[in-house]
Amino acid sequence: MVQNTFIKAWKALPNFRGDSKLYTWIYRIATNESITFLKKKRKHLFQSIDEVSFALSAKIEGPYFDGDEIEKKLQKAILTLPTKQRLVFNMRYYEEIKYEQMSLILDTSVGALKASYHHAKNKIENYLKTN
């Protein structure tokens, strides 16, 4: 996916208008490339996103995850979120991307992104309280 991202960016570089930062432009290409990859893989494996989330959740308990118990719970809570909320939460919480940049990357309004983050945060809090 990374290679495809940079190939697409390289080929499209002459068309880069400079309306946004180069970082934002490449991030959007990478996000779209990742989403396309996951959609193709899902069709290929005939698994729903919920089944993939469940499988990832099970791997958190395995020997490959070295986070403490709280981090495990947080990761499981994140995996229960719908795809868009998960994406917005990860971009905001872990990568600290500003809503304005996310808006350009995801081609969504700032208000919608704030609402998605708020809903995601509430769902995660509820999950952590009940599990």
- Is the pLDDT at 5 greater than 60? The verdict is yes
If one counts the domains in the chain, the total is 1
The model carries a pTM of: 0.60
90: in domain: yes
Using the structure block, give the residue that is written with the tokens 């002459």: 14
**Looking at the domain assignment, is residue 48 inside a domain?**
no
Is position 108 within any domain? Answer: yes
Q: pLDDT tier at 35 (50, 70, 90 boundaries)?
A: confident
Copy the structure tokens of residue 39.
């959609």
pLDDT at 56 over 80: no
Torsion of CA 86, 88, 94, 98, to 10 degrees: 180
Query: Does residue 78 form part of some domain?
Result: yes
What residue numbers bound the domain in which 88 lies? 67-131
Q: Is residue 106 part of a domain?
A: yes
Q: How far apart are CA 38 and CA 53, in angstroms?
A: 12
